[in-house]
C-alpha cells in the first residue's frame, strides 16, 4: 500500500509539473494571426479607469488592431458589487482614447471569470458568424484561456501582453496557480471547474484564491 501511495503521489506530482512547464512555455509564445476578432480578458478597474494589469492587455489589443490582425475587439468583464462601471465599459472607453473606433468594439459586461467571459463572448460572436479569434491576456493566462476557448468551440490562438506589471515572485505565483487550474480543468472540464470554484468562493470567502487570483481571472 505504501508503494502504491508513493507511486500515486509521484504520478500526481509529475502531472502537475508537466502542466506547469506547459503553462510557462505558453506564456512565452505569441501566436497572433489574422482573425475575425480580438478578445481581451478583463481585469480590475477603478471607477471607470482600467488597472495597470488591464491597461497592459488593452494596449496590446489596440496594437494588434492597428496592425490589422482583426477588425473587431471584444472587451470582457462585469463589475463588483458597488462598482459604477463594468470592466468591459472601462476597457472600451480606454480603447477609444487609444484611437480604436467605438464601432469596432463589442462589450461583454456580465462575466466574473475567464470561463464566463469566453462563454458569453462565444455566444454573441457565434450569432455574428465569428469563431476565429485572438485571445489577449497576461502570459501565464494563455494556456488556460486557449483550452477554455477550445472547449467552447472557438478557433482561438493567444497573444499575451509583454508589458504586464505582474512580474517576479507574483508572476511565478500565477504560474503555479494556473498550473493547478489547467491541471484540474483538463481532468474535469473547465465549465465544471469554474462552477466549483464559484461555489467554494461563496461558501468560504477567500478559499478560491489558490485557483482564482483576484483581478486577473
Q: Please, what are the domains in the chain?
A: 28-158 (3.40.50.620)
The answer to whether 160 and 141 have CB atoms below 8 angstroms apart is yes
With left for phi above 0 and alpha for psi between -120 and 50, is residue 71 left, alpha or beta?
alpha
Q: How far apart are CA 141 and CA 36, in angstroms?
A: 21
Contacts of residue 116, Cβ cutoff 8 Å, sequence gap at least 6: 110, 194
**pLDDT tens digits for 164-197?**
999 999 999 999 999 999 999 999 999 999 988 8
Contacts of residue 104, Cβ cutoff 8 Å, sequence gap at least 6: 65, 71, 72, 73
Q: What is the pLDDT of residue 18?
A: 97
> Would you say residue 154 has pLDDT above 80?
yes
Q: What is the pLDDT of residue 199?
A: 67
User: Percentage of the chain surpassing pLDDT 70?
Assistant: 91
Q: What is the pLDDT of residue 46?
A: 95
111 vs 203: which has the higher pLDDT: 111
The answer to whether 64 and 38 have CB atoms below 8 angstroms apart is yes
162 three-class SS: coil
Mean pLDDT within 119-131: 96
> Would you say residue 204 has pLDDT above 60?
no
Write the CA distances from 7 to 11, 14, 18, 26, 39, integer angstroms: 6, 10, 16, 29, 42
Q: What is the pLDDT of residue 214?
A: 38
Amino acid at each position: 500500500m505504501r508503494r502504491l501511495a508513493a507511486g500515486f503521489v509521484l504520478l500526481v506530482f509529475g502531472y502537475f509539473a508537466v502542466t506547469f512547464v506547459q503553462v510557462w512555455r505558453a506564456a512565452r509564445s505569441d501566436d497572433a494571426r489574422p482573425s475575425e476578432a480580438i478578445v481581451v480578458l478583463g481585469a480590475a478597474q477603478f471607477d471607470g479607469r482600467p488597472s495597470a494589469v488591464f491597461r497592459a492587455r488593452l494596449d496590446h489589443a489596440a496594437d494588434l488592431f492597428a496592425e490589422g490582425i482583426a477588425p473587431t475587439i471584444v472587451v470582457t468583464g462585469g463589475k463588483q458589487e458597488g462598482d459604477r462601471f463594468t470592466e468591459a465599459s472601462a476597457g472600451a472607453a480606454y480603447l477609444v482614447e487609444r484611437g480604436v473606433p467605438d464601432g469596432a468594439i463589442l462589450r461583454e459586461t456580465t462575466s466574473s471569470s475567464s470561463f464566463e467571459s469566453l462563454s458569453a463572448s462565444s455566444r454573441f460572436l457565434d450569432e455574428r458568424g465569428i469563431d476565429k479569434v485572438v485571445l489577449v491576456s497576461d502570459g501565464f493566462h494563455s494556456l488556460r484561456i486557449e483550452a477554455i476557448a477550445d472547449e467552447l468551440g472557438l478557433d482561438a490562438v493567444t497573444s499575451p501582453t509583454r508589458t504586464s506589471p505582474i512580474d517576479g515572485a507574483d508572476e511565478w505565483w500565477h504560474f503555479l496557480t494556473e498550473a493547478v487550474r489547467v491541471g484540474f480543468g483538463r481532468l474535469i472540464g473547465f465549465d465544471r471547474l469554474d462552477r466549483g470554484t464559484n461555489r467554494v468562493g461563496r461558501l468560504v470567502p477567500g478559499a478560491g484564491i489558490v485557483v482564482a487570483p483576484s483581478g486577473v481571472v
